[in-house]
Chains A and B, each alone.
Chain A
Amino acid sequence: MRLSPEQIAQIRQSATESFGPEARVWLFGSRVDDSKRGGDIDLLVQTRALSADAALQRKIRMLGLLEARLGERKIDIVIEQPGDMRPIVCVAHETGLAL
Protein backbone atom coordinates (compact mmCIF):
# COMPACT_ATOMS: atom_id res chain seq x y z
CA MET A 1 0.00 0.00 0.00
CA ARG A 2 1.42 3.36 -1.01
CA LEU A 3 0.23 5.51 1.88
CA SER A 4 2.28 6.52 4.91
CA PRO A 5 1.08 5.67 8.44
CA GLU A 6 0.52 9.40 8.94
CA GLN A 7 -1.63 9.63 5.80
CA ILE A 8 -3.65 6.59 6.89
CA ALA A 9 -4.24 8.17 10.30
CA GLN A 10 -5.38 11.42 8.65
CA ILE A 11 -7.77 9.55 6.37
CA ARG A 12 -9.29 7.60 9.25
CA GLN A 13 -9.63 10.72 11.36
CA SER A 14 -11.29 12.59 8.49
CA ALA A 15 -13.77 9.73 7.97
CA THR A 16 -14.62 9.67 11.68
CA GLU A 17 -15.15 13.43 11.81
CA SER A 18 -17.33 13.38 8.71
CA PHE A 19 -19.31 10.15 9.06
CA GLY A 20 -19.01 9.26 12.74
CA PRO A 21 -16.91 6.74 14.68
CA GLU A 22 -18.64 3.73 13.10
CA ALA A 23 -17.40 4.61 9.60
CA ARG A 24 -14.86 2.19 8.10
CA VAL A 25 -12.51 3.01 5.25
CA TRP A 26 -10.94 0.93 2.48
CA LEU A 27 -8.22 1.97 0.10
CA PHE A 28 -8.59 0.55 -3.40
CA GLY A 29 -7.35 1.28 -6.90
CA SER A 30 -3.77 1.94 -7.93
CA ARG A 31 -2.59 3.04 -4.48
CA VAL A 32 -2.92 -0.54 -3.25
CA ASP A 33 -0.30 -1.64 -5.78
CA ASP A 34 3.25 -1.16 -4.44
CA SER A 35 4.73 -1.47 -7.93
CA LYS A 36 2.98 1.66 -9.25
CA ARG A 37 3.78 5.32 -8.65
CA GLY A 38 1.62 8.36 -7.91
CA GLY A 39 -2.04 8.12 -8.86
CA ASP A 40 -5.36 9.07 -7.30
CA ILE A 41 -6.35 8.03 -3.82
CA ASP A 42 -9.51 5.94 -4.14
CA LEU A 43 -11.39 5.44 -0.90
CA LEU A 44 -14.49 3.48 0.02
CA VAL A 45 -16.25 4.70 3.16
CA GLN A 46 -18.72 2.29 4.76
CA THR A 47 -21.38 4.15 6.72
CA ARG A 48 -24.67 3.61 8.46
CA ALA A 49 -27.79 4.39 6.41
CA LEU A 50 -27.88 8.07 5.46
CA SER A 51 -30.15 10.18 3.30
CA ALA A 52 -28.72 11.00 -0.13
CA ASP A 53 -28.37 14.64 0.92
CA ALA A 54 -26.56 13.82 4.18
CA ALA A 55 -24.21 11.36 2.45
CA LEU A 56 -23.27 13.98 -0.16
CA GLN A 57 -22.73 16.74 2.42
CA ARG A 58 -20.54 14.46 4.55
CA LYS A 59 -18.54 13.31 1.57
CA ILE A 60 -17.76 16.92 0.62
CA ARG A 61 -16.84 17.62 4.24
CA MET A 62 -14.43 14.68 4.23
CA LEU A 63 -12.89 15.86 0.94
CA GLY A 64 -12.32 19.26 2.55
CA LEU A 65 -10.66 17.74 5.62
CA LEU A 66 -8.44 15.55 3.42
CA GLU A 67 -7.46 18.52 1.28
CA ALA A 68 -6.45 20.45 4.39
CA ARG A 69 -4.52 17.51 5.84
CA LEU A 70 -3.00 15.78 2.81
CA GLY A 71 -2.73 18.78 0.49
CA GLU A 72 -4.49 19.31 -2.80
CA ARG A 73 -4.51 15.99 -4.65
CA LYS A 74 -7.00 13.85 -6.53
CA ILE A 75 -9.08 11.88 -4.05
CA ASP A 76 -12.20 9.92 -4.94
CA ILE A 77 -14.59 8.74 -2.27
CA VAL A 78 -17.24 6.07 -2.81
CA ILE A 79 -19.87 5.89 -0.08
CA GLU A 80 -21.17 2.44 0.80
CA GLN A 81 -24.41 2.24 2.71
CA PRO A 82 -25.99 -0.97 4.07
CA GLY A 83 -27.11 -3.26 1.23
CA ASP A 84 -25.06 -1.42 -1.40
CA MET A 85 -24.19 -4.04 -4.05
CA ARG A 86 -22.85 -1.76 -6.78
CA PRO A 87 -19.98 -3.29 -8.76
CA ILE A 88 -17.55 -0.59 -7.62
CA VAL A 89 -18.32 -1.41 -3.98
CA CYS A 90 -17.71 -5.13 -4.60
CA VAL A 91 -14.43 -4.39 -6.41
CA ALA A 92 -13.28 -2.12 -3.60
CA HIS A 93 -13.84 -4.87 -1.03
CA GLU A 94 -12.29 -7.60 -3.19
CA THR A 95 -9.18 -5.69 -4.21
CA GLY A 96 -8.87 -3.04 -1.50
CA LEU A 97 -7.31 -2.88 1.93
CA ALA A 98 -9.06 -1.82 5.12
CA LEU A 99 -7.37 1.21 6.67
Chain B
Amino acid sequence: MKQTPEQLALAHAYSTCLGHAEALREALVDLHQRDLQEIEWNKLAKEDRRLLDQFAYRYTRLQDDMGARLMPAILRALEEDIAAMSAVDRLNRLEQLGWLPSAAQWSELRRIRNTFAHDYPETPAERHAQWQLAMAAAEQVLTLLDGFTARMHTKLPG
Protein backbone atom coordinates (compact mmCIF):
# COMPACT_ATOMS: atom_id res chain seq x y z
CA MET B 1 0.00 0.00 0.00
CA LYS B 2 1.31 3.43 -0.91
CA GLN B 3 2.39 5.54 2.04
CA THR B 4 1.02 9.06 2.53
CA PRO B 5 3.46 12.02 2.67
CA GLU B 6 2.77 12.21 6.42
CA GLN B 7 3.70 8.55 6.88
CA LEU B 8 6.87 8.98 4.83
CA ALA B 9 7.89 12.06 6.85
CA LEU B 10 7.26 10.14 10.06
CA ALA B 11 9.28 7.15 8.87
CA HIS B 12 12.18 9.41 7.95
CA ALA B 13 12.16 11.34 11.23
CA TYR B 14 11.85 8.12 13.20
CA SER B 15 14.72 6.47 11.33
CA THR B 16 16.95 9.49 11.99
CA CYS B 17 16.13 9.35 15.70
CA LEU B 18 16.84 5.61 15.83
CA GLY B 19 20.28 6.22 14.34
CA HIS B 20 21.08 8.82 17.01
CA ALA B 21 19.65 6.57 19.72
CA GLU B 22 21.81 3.62 18.75
CA ALA B 23 25.02 5.68 18.88
CA LEU B 24 23.87 7.37 22.11
CA ARG B 25 23.24 4.01 23.78
CA GLU B 26 26.72 2.85 22.79
CA ALA B 27 28.24 6.04 24.21
CA LEU B 28 26.30 5.66 27.46
CA VAL B 29 27.44 2.05 27.92
CA ASP B 30 31.06 3.11 27.37
CA LEU B 31 30.72 6.14 29.65
CA HIS B 32 29.27 4.05 32.46
CA GLN B 33 32.11 1.54 32.04
CA ARG B 34 34.68 4.33 31.92
CA ASP B 35 33.19 5.94 35.07
CA LEU B 36 35.14 9.20 34.81
CA GLN B 37 36.01 10.62 38.21
CA GLU B 38 35.77 14.31 39.09
CA ILE B 39 39.52 14.81 39.18
CA GLU B 40 39.93 13.43 35.65
CA TRP B 41 38.01 16.36 34.13
CA ASN B 42 41.17 18.44 34.61
CA LYS B 43 42.88 16.63 31.77
CA LEU B 44 41.00 14.30 29.49
CA ALA B 45 42.66 11.65 27.34
CA LYS B 46 42.02 11.67 23.60
CA GLU B 47 39.81 8.58 23.80
CA ASP B 48 37.71 10.15 26.55
CA ARG B 49 37.23 13.35 24.56
CA ARG B 50 36.07 11.33 21.57
CA LEU B 51 33.62 9.40 23.71
CA LEU B 52 32.27 12.57 25.30
CA ASP B 53 31.92 14.19 21.88
CA GLN B 54 29.96 11.19 20.64
CA PHE B 55 27.66 11.41 23.63
CA ALA B 56 27.20 15.19 23.36
CA TYR B 57 26.47 15.12 19.64
CA ARG B 58 24.03 12.21 19.73
CA TYR B 59 22.29 13.37 22.90
CA THR B 60 21.62 16.88 21.63
CA ARG B 61 20.75 15.73 18.11
CA LEU B 62 18.37 13.04 19.34
CA GLN B 63 16.53 15.45 21.59
CA ASP B 64 16.41 18.15 18.91
CA ASP B 65 15.19 15.76 16.22
CA MET B 66 12.57 14.23 18.51
CA GLY B 67 11.24 17.68 19.41
CA ALA B 68 11.50 19.39 16.06
CA ARG B 69 10.83 16.51 13.66
CA LEU B 70 9.50 13.32 15.21
CA MET B 71 6.84 14.80 17.48
CA PRO B 72 5.35 17.05 14.77
CA ALA B 73 5.47 14.10 12.34
CA ILE B 74 3.58 11.91 14.81
CA LEU B 75 0.90 14.55 15.27
CA ARG B 76 0.56 15.03 11.51
CA ALA B 77 0.31 11.26 10.98
CA LEU B 78 -2.47 11.27 13.55
CA GLU B 79 -4.15 13.92 11.38
CA GLU B 80 -3.83 16.60 14.03
CA ASP B 81 -3.92 20.17 12.74
CA ILE B 82 -0.65 21.40 14.23
CA ALA B 83 -0.12 24.52 12.08
CA ALA B 84 -1.72 26.79 14.67
CA MET B 85 -0.27 24.98 17.69
CA SER B 86 2.58 26.47 19.71
CA ALA B 87 5.41 24.19 20.82
CA VAL B 88 3.81 23.90 24.25
CA ASP B 89 0.42 23.08 22.72
CA ARG B 90 2.01 20.27 20.72
CA LEU B 91 3.60 18.79 23.84
CA ASN B 92 0.33 19.04 25.73
CA ARG B 93 -1.52 17.37 22.85
CA LEU B 94 1.00 14.51 22.79
CA GLU B 95 0.50 14.11 26.52
CA GLN B 96 -3.27 14.17 26.09
CA LEU B 97 -3.08 11.51 23.39
CA GLY B 98 -0.90 9.33 25.61
CA TRP B 99 2.32 9.61 23.60
CA LEU B 100 4.22 11.65 26.19
CA PRO B 101 3.92 10.70 29.87
CA SER B 102 4.36 14.37 30.76
CA ALA B 103 4.76 17.55 28.72
CA ALA B 104 6.43 19.14 31.74
CA GLN B 105 9.04 16.37 31.80
CA TRP B 106 9.95 17.08 28.19
CA SER B 107 10.27 20.80 28.94
CA GLU B 108 12.56 19.99 31.88
CA LEU B 109 14.67 17.72 29.65
CA ARG B 110 14.91 20.54 27.12
CA ARG B 111 16.18 22.94 29.79
CA ILE B 112 18.81 20.39 30.85
CA ARG B 113 19.83 19.95 27.21
CA ASN B 114 20.08 23.72 26.68
CA THR B 115 22.13 24.21 29.83
CA PHE B 116 24.40 21.35 28.78
CA ALA B 117 24.86 22.79 25.29
CA HIS B 118 25.36 26.43 26.24
CA ASP B 119 27.20 26.47 29.55
CA TYR B 120 30.94 26.05 29.88
CA PRO B 121 31.60 24.99 33.47
CA GLU B 122 35.05 25.92 34.70
CA THR B 123 35.77 23.56 37.56
CA PRO B 124 36.09 19.78 37.33
CA ALA B 125 33.29 19.42 39.89
CA GLU B 126 30.94 21.55 37.77
CA ARG B 127 31.84 19.66 34.61
CA HIS B 128 31.31 16.35 36.34
CA ALA B 129 27.90 17.46 37.66
CA GLN B 130 26.85 18.72 34.24
CA TRP B 131 27.77 15.44 32.53
CA GLN B 132 26.12 13.30 35.18
CA LEU B 133 22.90 15.26 34.79
CA ALA B 134 23.07 15.10 31.00
CA MET B 135 23.65 11.34 31.07
CA ALA B 136 20.62 10.83 33.33
CA ALA B 137 18.58 13.09 31.02
CA ALA B 138 19.76 11.15 27.96
CA GLU B 139 18.50 7.90 29.55
CA GLN B 140 15.10 9.53 29.98
CA VAL B 141 15.06 10.73 26.36
CA LEU B 142 15.84 7.18 25.21
CA THR B 143 13.02 5.81 27.36
CA LEU B 144 10.64 8.31 25.77
CA LEU B 145 11.78 7.21 22.32
CA ASP B 146 11.16 3.56 23.32
CA GLY B 147 7.65 4.62 24.32
CA PHE B 148 7.13 6.22 20.91
CA THR B 149 8.38 3.02 19.24
CA ALA B 150 5.92 0.84 21.14
CA ARG B 151 3.06 3.21 20.45
CA MET B 152 3.88 3.62 16.77
CA HIS B 153 3.57 -0.13 16.28
CA THR B 154 0.09 -0.18 17.77
CA LYS B 155 -1.33 3.25 16.88
CA LEU B 156 0.40 4.02 13.59
CA PRO B 157 1.03 0.70 11.86
CA GLY B 158 2.60 0.91 8.44
- Which residues of chain A have a CB within 8 Å of any CB of chain B? 51-53, 55-57, 59-60, 63-64, 67, 72, 76, 86
Chain A contact surface mostly: helix
What separation, in Å, do the CA atoms of A36 and B104 have in the docked complex?
Answer: 33
Q: Is B36 an interface residue (CB 8 A)?
A: no
16 pairs of residues in contact across A and B, judged by CB atoms under 8 Å: A52-B121, A52-B123, A52-B126, A52-B128, A53-B129, A55-B126, A56-B115, A56-B126, A56-B133, A57-B133, A59-B115, A63-B111, A64-B107, A64-B111, A67-B111, A76-B118
Instruction: Give a binary string over B107-149; 1 marks a CB under 8 Å from any A CB, 0 the rest.
Output: 1100110010010011101101110110000000000000000
**Majority SS at the chain B contact face:** helix
User: CA A51 – CA B121 in complex, angstroms?
Assistant: 13
In the bound complex, what is the Cα–Cα distance between A53 and B133 (angstroms)? 8
Task: Please name all residues of chain B whose beta carbon is closer than 8 Å to the beta carbon of A55 when the two chains form the complex.
Answer: 126, 129
Interchain CB contact under 8 A, A67 and B107:
yes
Shortest Cβ distance from A56 into B: residue: B129
Chain B residues at the A interface, C-beta cutoff of 8 Å: 87-88, 107-108, 111-112, 115, 118, 121-123, 125-126, 128-130, 132-133
Q: How far is the CB of B7 from chain A (nearest CB, A)?
A: 31
B contact residues around A67 at 8 Å (CB):
107, 111
Measured CA separation A72–B88 after assembly (Å) = 10
Query: Separation in Å of the B28 CB from the closest CB of chain A?
Result: 19
What's the least CB distance linking A58 to chain B, in Å? 11
Q: How far is the CA of A73 from the CA of B115 in the complex (A)?
A: 14
Kindly state the separation between the CA atoms of A52 and B132 in the bound complex, as whole angstroms: 11
Q: Which residue of chain B has the shortest Cβ distance to A53 in the bound complex?
A: B129
Given known contacts A52-B130, A76-B118, what 16 new A-B pairs fall within 8 Å (CB)?
Answer: A51-B125, A52-B121, A53-B129, A53-B132, A56-B115, A56-B126, A56-B130, A56-B133, A57-B133, A59-B115, A60-B108, A63-B115, A64-B111, A67-B111, A72-B87, A86-B122
Q: How far is the CA of A51 from the CA of B124 in the complex (A)?
A: 12
Contact partners of B133 in chain A: CB under 8 A: 53, 56-57, 60
Contacts of B108 in A (CB 8 A): 60, 64
Q: Which residues of B contact A60 (CB under 8 A)?
A: 108, 111-112, 115, 133
Closest partner residue, chain B, to A79 (CB atom) = B126
Please measure, in the bound complex, the distance between the C-alpha atom of A72 and the C-alpha atom of B110, giving whole angstroms.
Answer: 12
The 5 closest A-B pairs by CB, nearest first: A52-B129, A52-B125, A53-B129, A52-B126, A56-B129
